[in-house]
Structure formats: C-alpha cells, structure tokens
Amino acid sequence: MATPHPREAEIANQVFLNLQRVIDPEIRRPITELDMIGGVSVDAAGGTAIGLKLTIVGCPAARTIEEDVRAATAATPGVTAVDVVVSVMTKDERAALTAKLRGGRPKTLQFGPDSFTQIYAITSGKGGVGKSTVTANLAVLMAERGLRVGVVDADVFGFSIPGLLGIAGVKPTQVGEMILPPVAHGVKVISIGMFVEENTAVSWRGPMLHRTIQQFLTDVFFGDLDVLLIDLPPGTGDIAISLGQLLPQAEVIVVTTPQAAAAEVAERSGVVARQTGQTVIGVIENMAGLLQADGSVLELFGSGGGAATAARLSSPEQPVAVLGSIPLSVALRQGGDSGHPVALLQPDDPAALALARIATALSQRPRNLAGRTLGFTVS
C-alpha cells in the first residue's frame, strides 16, 4: 500500500479533527469517540472519502449524522470533494461500543450510590394536579440553564411525558442490549409510552412494574447527567416503593393544588417517600389562582394547600419548603397539548416565570452527597 503524500496525510488528519465536532444526536458524544469513523482517505486532487459506521440498520439519526460529516469534511482546507461511504457496525463493534459507553463496567444500575447525579422524584397524592406538566417544564428549563437533564416517566399507567415534550410516537434506538433515550428540547426521555401502541392500556401487577423501572435505570443509557427527574405515578403504590428501594438517595418534591382535600392526600406521598429512606425537600403548589384582567386573582381551587402540605411534612430536623406557587394558565395548558412546554412557548407567561424561579433554585442546589462514595481515601 502506497504511503500517503505528506500534504494528503495532513488534510486527512485535519478532517479527522473536524469530525470530532460532529456529535451523535442520540448518544450526545463525538462520533470519533464512538468509533463511528472507519477511515479517512484523501487523494492527490483533494477528493476525500469518509467511512461512516452507523450503530444500527435504520438508525433514525443517520441522515443528520451523514450531513454533519459532509459539512465538517467539506469545511476542511484542501478538500475538493467529499464521498461518505455509509455502513453499519458489526455485532462485535456494537458490543465494544456498549462496553465503552458503560466505562467497562458490567450492566448495572446507572444511578447507584456512587453517582453524583442529582435525582428529583416528582410525586403527588392524587392525579390531575399537574405533576407531569411541572416535571416536563422543569426539565426543559434546567436544560436551558446548561445542565444535562434526563427524565424517567415512571407513571406507567398514566404516562404523558412524551406528549408533553412533543415526542409522542418516537421510539428509542436499541444498540445491542443498550437503549438510547430520545431527546426532546435538550432533555433525554424514557417512558413506557415509547414501547406500546398508541392508546394502549397498561395493566401490570407489582413485579412487572418493579422490573420496568429497574430496566429504565439499567438498560437505558443516559450518559453523564447533572439532573434526573422522575415523574412518579400519583399515590403510594408499588412504583413509589420500588423507586425508594432502587434510588434511596432521590430527593422528593410533592406537587399539590391549593385545595385542602388535595393537600391532605399529597402529604401521604411524602410520608411514603420518607418510609423508604428518601428525603422530601419541598412542595410545589400548582393551579394557585387565575389572574384576572383587573389584576385580582380568582382562587378556583382555594388557597394555602402548598403551605399546609409543607408544614405537615416538616420537622425540626428536616424542614420542607414551598418551592413555588404556579398560577393557572391557558398557555401552560396549550403548551402541554402541543408538546411545546410553556417555558419555551411563552417564557413571559406568569406560570412560566414561576416555573423558571423553581428551576433556577433547583439548579443551584448543592448535590446531596449523603451516603455516597467520593472516590478517595484518607491515609
């Protein structure tokens, strides 16, 4: 095989450096780091051939990746033409990629005791209080603040996160035994709704529910996250208990409406979280009132429920704060229906502003290191 001319080798090297800026949209890492570039060759006239290896046949991001590879190559000085030769990784190459992404560790719970990811479990005592809407908007707002954010839709029976984030019908990509979560508005998302047909009712008992949540936390590759939000089902059932067993370090946020009856039920979800060893850090009051044209507020669901829930969940050793109060908002509802969270659709809406304040406060909280291994020893 002929040795490349120094100029050709220099161009090929620069092309490879430029390809380091091409990011896989699903894995969120450079394609060069993922061993997706099989080779770069440059001829005497500057014609450049790129070997691009996709992870699977029918990769949903194939066109985007190929276009980005072409653009990065064409932008390299000295390149006169670009030919991208697309192939698919072999089974062994996919296995090697999976092992690399897991850091050589065996398949295990991603967010174990050594994880520095801040985990917030969003819960409520009853359905219909806007828990999922709050979760979706907080996730998007925290991602806007530069954090790496993931969402697990643990509400298996009433999953709604895909619709709220505009990815209903989108399926995850599977690479070997690893599942890559779809990305919406900068947030990595997984939900049982991505694995069942539209409008399918999920009717599972406890063991199946536990296994599903365990698989979400084991088989789904989120990568390095700053924050993981978990949208729990309402109430105090199997999934809340399973999550307490799997992620005892998760910090719990209780969502309630101002109504006294809702607040009383919301308290129970916080109590169950504490029984599993988790910490309740705050309460969010949703549907707090409807702003009228004259500036007054119509309290359709009463008032004081958030403060009452926080007070009942507080103790001298573990106070619970009201993290924020979100007013009723037509824009908030429209954003959920359209899959464009109000935080993006109308950032100046009163509900969006209230959510933004909560997201900022959560983004600035120090990570909970209690019970975690810090990776060094004292001699």
Measured distance CA(250)–CA(273) in Å, rounded: 9
Is 90 exceeded by the pLDDT of residue 79? yes
Token couple for 349: 């809406």
Please give, one letter per residue, the 3-state secondary structure of 182-216: CEECCEEEEEHHHCCCCCCCCCCCHHHHHHHHHHH
The whole-model pTM stands at 0.83
Q: Residue 3: which region, alpha, beta or left (left: phi > 0; alpha: psi -120 to 50)?
A: beta
Is 60 exceeded by the pLDDT of residue 375? no
CATH number of 118-363: 3.40.50.300
pLDDT at 379: 43
> Are the CB atoms for 181 and 240 separated by under 8 Å?
no
What average pLDDT does the chain have? 87
Could you report the per-residue pLDDT of 105-142, keeping only the tens digit for each? Answer: 767 778 887 788 999 999 988 888 899 999 999 999 99
pLDDT at 16: 94
Nearest to 354 by CA among 332, 336, 373: 332
Answer whether 6-101 and 118-363 agree in fold: no
Could you report the per-residue pLDDT of 85-103, keeping only the tens digit for each? Answer: 999 999 899 888 888 888 7
Q: Give the CA angle between residues 333, 164, 110 to the nearest 5°.
A: 140
Which is it for the CA torsion 135, 136, 141, 147, positive or negative? positive
Could you report the per-residue pLDDT of 342-356, keeping only the tens digit for each? Answer: 988 899 999 999 999
> Are the CB atoms for 246 and 154 separated by under 8 Å?
no
Give the three-state DSSP class for 252: strand
pLDDT at 350: 93
pLDDT at 81: 94
pLDDT at 370: 53
Could you report the per-residue pLDDT of 6-26, keeping only the tens digit for each? Answer: 788 899 999 999 999 999 988
- pLDDT classification of 265: cutoffs 50, 70, 90: confident
Return phi, psi of residue 53, to 5°: -110, 110
Length of the chain as a residue count: 379
Assigned architecture for domain 6-101:
2-Layer Sandwich (3.30)
Domain range list for the chain: 6-101, 118-363
